[in-house]
Amino acid sequence: MPRATKKAIQKLGLACALALALTGATAAQEYPTKGVNLIVPFPAGGGVDVVGRVVAQKLSDALGQQVLVLNRPGAGSVIGVRDGAKAAPDGYNILMLVTGASLPPDTGYDLAKDFVPISLVASIPIVIMSNPDVPAKSMNDIVALAKKQPGKVTIGTPPSPTLNYFGAEQFKSMTGTDLTVVTYKGTGPLTNDLLGGHVMFAFNTLPPAIGNIQAGKLRAIAVASPERLSAIPEVPTTKEAGLPDLEIVQYYGLVAPAGTPRAIVDKINKTMRGIMATDDFKQRIAAAGGSAMPSTPEEYATNIAHEEGKWAALIKKLGLKVEQ
């Protein structure tokens, strides 16, 4: 190939790359020009939905366009995550991802390949709670009751692959108890059945239950996190309750379909970091039993890989079958 032709091709390539970069930058400056869909892969009224709606409201205010929550529940988040993977990568479709989405086999998506991380949003631990009519006020009481009535003590959780479910199985294994795990489509239906006495205990999140806990209609027994929660400071951690290895913390974050322009990802990330720095956002997440967690896209990618890997190793160790 003549040197002049080769140079011309190189210049053309550089010009195209520059044009694409400028186009992406311009698109990010104008973004969004219409409403944005936020897919929440759990039912309305549950913990993920509560946080998702706080994020949607704050992003709507900051971006000047409506961010619409689309609940896509089913198979413990797999259906909604699969929908997110197939959505158009144009910045107008984002997903609220929760730890555990990669654990089932044959999901139809690969978190590392089919999504680009945007930002962590919050860390929210599991709270072990009961119907107040059940004669158990501590984790030791649950163990004693289960050993006295093997197979008859029920614990409600959302389905596999949620950490609520795996945490309950971990609790059974580490205490050597014969507990019956009853699964629900989400934490909203679970909380309703706990209130009605249809299930004795729950590995739940705080948002759908906090009002009933404060009213004395539900009893919070322990928080599966390293520290107590400001929303229920009187409730001990699982470590304080004698179970230091029972730590179940879910991480919520925003991701977009692979191929979403990096400039748009960066704009949403910057917007979220500003939102998470506000006292109002921090207080609303704290009221939901969590902590705001601003991050870069790269930091969130590291979190996803670490947490999914950690729980996959535990599931293998326990010999659990992951279903969806």
Domain shared by 189 and 133, yes or no:
yes
**How many other CB atoms are there within 10 angstroms of residue 114's CB atom?**
19
**What pLDDT is attached to residue 2?**
54
**What pLDDT is attached to residue 22?**
46
324 domain-assigned: no
Nearest alpha-carbon partner for 187 in 250, 139, 104:
250
**What pLDDT is attached to residue 264?**
98
Range of the domain at 264: 11-123+251-318
Domain shared by 257 and 118, yes or no:
yes
DSSP assigned state of 77 = G
Domain shared by 214 and 185, yes or no:
yes
CA atoms of 186 and 83, how far apart (whole Å):
18
**What pLDDT is attached to residue 19?**
45
User: Please, what are the averages of pLDDT over each run of 10 residues along the chain (324 residues)?
Assistant: 53 51 62 97 88 97 97 90 97 96 87 97 96 96 96 94 92 95 91 97 93 95 95 96 94 98 98 97 92 96 94 86 68
Domain shared by 117 and 15, yes or no:
yes
Write down the H helix ranges in the chain: 3-30, 47-63, 78-86, 111-114, 139-148, 163-175, 187-195, 210-214, 262-276, 279-287, 297-318
Tokens in use for 323? Answer: 């279903």
Domain shared by 91 and 138, yes or no:
no
Domain shared by 284 and 257, yes or no:
yes
Domain shared by 116 and 133, yes or no:
no
Q: Is 40 helix (H, G, I), strand (E, B) or coil?
A: strand
**What pLDDT is attached to residue 109?**
94
CA atoms of 97 and 76, how far apart (whole Å):
12
CB–CB of 48/42 below 8 Å?
yes
169 φ/ψ angles, rounded to the nearest 5 degrees: -65, -40
> What's this model's pTM, rounded to 2 decimal places?
0.85
CA atoms of 261 and 103, how far apart (whole Å):
27
Domain shared by 148 and 167, yes or no:
yes
Domain shared by 215 and 285, yes or no:
no
- Strand-pair category, 291-292 with 115-125: antiparallel
Structural domain tally of the chain? Answer: 2
Domain shared by 117 and 178, yes or no:
no
CA atoms of 172 and 146, how far apart (whole Å):
10
Q: What is the CATH number of the domain that holds 39?
A: 3.40.190.150
Tokens in use for 92? Answer: 């107008």
User: Which residue's structure tokens are 């990568």?
Assistant: 89
**What pLDDT is attached to residue 167?**
94
